[in-house]
A and B are shown apart, each in its own frame.
Chain A
Amino acid sequence: MSAPSQLHLERLAYKRSRARRSTVVALLSTVVFAAAAWLTITNAPGWPRVQESFFDWEAAKKSFPALLDGLWLNVRVLVVCGILILVIGLGIAALRTLRGPVWFPLRALATAYVDLFRGLPLIICLYLIGFGLPGLRLGGIPNDPVVLGSIALVLVYSAYVAEVFRAGIESIHPSQLASARSLGLTHAQTMRIVVMPQAVRRVLPPLLNDFVAFQKDCGLISVLGAVDAVRAAQIESATSYNFTPYVVAGLLFVLLAVPSSRLADWASRRAARRQNAGGPGA
């Protein structure tokens, strides 16, 4: 190794100066943007009232315990329903991908299920299940709005998730199925050993995306009487006509979504890496 030439040193110094300059320019333009946005908002004639309505520290502190209580309900519903949705969604996707005329009734049923619950607005499904089912006054039907709301959530979201799984299953090249079958694997074995591991890996990013959407939708069970974080914010906001509790609830939901979003990023990066493993550029 000979010492770097004078020319090389100059080149490095130039590169460093360019990098420094880029940083300064980026910093400057960010500051200008931030200052302008801040000035525009705080100089607006309605700003004092908006500040009072949406960013009132006292109101935020006062509403916080109630919001946390509500959020705890969201988290419990999220976990329980999340697991049920995965299982049921996978089951329906498996039914939809069954081949052969014998399975037609099951295929048709699964297709009808997906069509119905993907098309039905969640809020209407919530009302039908939440107020309709107990209205029948049959024995054994739960009366708790959280249970009823969770049933409606699972029905609707498993239809979405089934379609995500199905897309994954159908994305596996037919040659893989053909080779698996030619090795003597049954259809069930082929699905379990060859298709599913690849399909699930492929749909992990869209699944996590649905999960983040579900984090926010699970609060809709509040229309049935349960008090989730958003409903708690609504109650707090109505006592003072102040919107700050909504902002606080919004921040709590963002905090809840950040880990899922990072997980989704990580999963898609890993999927991409594995997809291209051994290929060019790996």
Chain B
Amino acid sequence: MRGMRAVTALFAVVLVVVAGCAPVEEQGPAAEGPATAGAGDCAKAALKTRTPGKFTFGTDQPVYEPWFSGDDPSNGKGFESAVAYAVAGKLGYAKAEVDWVRVPFNAAIQPGPKSFDANLNEFSITDDRRKAVDFSTPYYDVTQAVVAFKSSPAAKATTVAALKEFKLGAQVGTTSYDAAAKQVQPTQQVAVYNNNDDAKQALRNNQVQAIVVDLATAFYITSAELTDAVIVGQLPASGGKAEQFGIVLDKGSSLTRCVSAAVDALRADGTLAQAEKQWLAEAGKAPKLT
């Protein structure tokens, strides 16, 4: 019975393989209840970061103004870089104890182990997304805005409905795209680009008549990059619910509570408002589309 022996042997080999792929130890459940950044179970010594004694932030490459500056997240310049260092500071990490890794969008949201402790890259909080990742409490209220060249007929729009007839563009994977597709509901399919650089190029080429970006990016584009372009207006919040940016953490991360506590503390002591003032233009100056 050579065949049967072979099957038995195979079975044994398979058992060994299954045992070899034994589960990796998972972290325990996160603690419950209120947290204070930098104290108690959120004290620096208690935090289970990837590298003990260091806090690793992730963000995409490249990163854009005004959220970061010069594609260098570690210089503390730009709104999100400033927020990241402030959060780390609240948790007890000095500037030198903060590391940055560059993580593409899909790698940040995939279900496997993450290469970062927390990730800032203009991630909008939605309930759907909460099923896949943890979000900190929000650190920024965002509105979407429409940008077009002054000479374009799209620049004359004062209502959302007036934008329907134009070819719009947006970056893939953003709530800007959702706003373009679902709020404006244009008659032509929204063109989708890998990043805002490609969207801007398409706008320059008149392949799209207007692009949708978040308001802070819109201010940066119209003031520094496409100076012939204007902000046509801000789109009203979809479903009447304000859109907010949150810090992304691994689903079930033990750090989420502490990072949220740090963000809450920064909001309470005015640091967030101060950073907004320093790095982001005033939202009030852009017209609102009705």
CB distance from A269 to the nearest CB of B (A): 32
B191 on the A face (CB < 8 A): yes
Say whether A240 contacts B128, CB under 8 Å.
yes
Given A145-B191, A223-B194, CB of A240 within 8 Å of CB of B201: no
Chain A residues within 8 Å of B178, by CB: 239
Stretch at the interface among A41-49, A171-179, A196-204: A41-49
12 A-B residue contacts at CB 8 Å?
A29-B7, A32-B7, A39-B18, A40-B18, A52-B111, A223-B194, A227-B191, A231-B172, A231-B192, A239-B178, A241-B129, A241-B133
A214 on the B face (CB < 8 A): no
CB distance from B98 to the nearest CB of A (A): 25
Say whether B18 contacts A240, CB under 8 Å.
no
A234, B195: Cα distance in complex, Å: 13
Say whether A243 contacts B110, CB under 8 Å.
yes
Chain B residues within 8 Å of A50, by CB: 111
B24 on the A face (CB < 8 A): yes
Say whether B131 contacts A45, CB under 8 Å.
no
Of all chain B residues, the one with the shortest Cβ separation from A144 is: B207
Measured CB to CB, the residues of B under 8 A from A are 3-4, 6-7, 10-11, 14-15, 17-18, 21, 23-24, 26, 105-106, 109-112, 126, 128-129, 131-133, 169, 172-174, 177-178, 189, 191-194, 198, 201-202, 204-208, 251
The size of the chain A interface, using a CB distance under 8 A, is 41
Say whether B198 contacts A36, CB under 8 Å.
no
Of all chain B residues, the one with the shortest Cβ separation from A31 is: B7
CB distance from B25 to the nearest CB of A (A): 8
Interface of A is mostly: helix
Chain B residues within 8 Å of A22, by CB: 3
Chain B residues within 8 Å of A131, by CB: 198, 201-202, 205
A150 on the B face (CB < 8 A): no
Given A39-B18, A143-B207, A235-B192, CB of A241 within 8 Å of CB of B132: yes
Chain B residues within 8 Å of A134, by CB: 205-207
Q: Interface readout for A29-68 with B: 1 if CB under 8 Å, 0 if not?
A: 1001100100110011110011011100000000000000
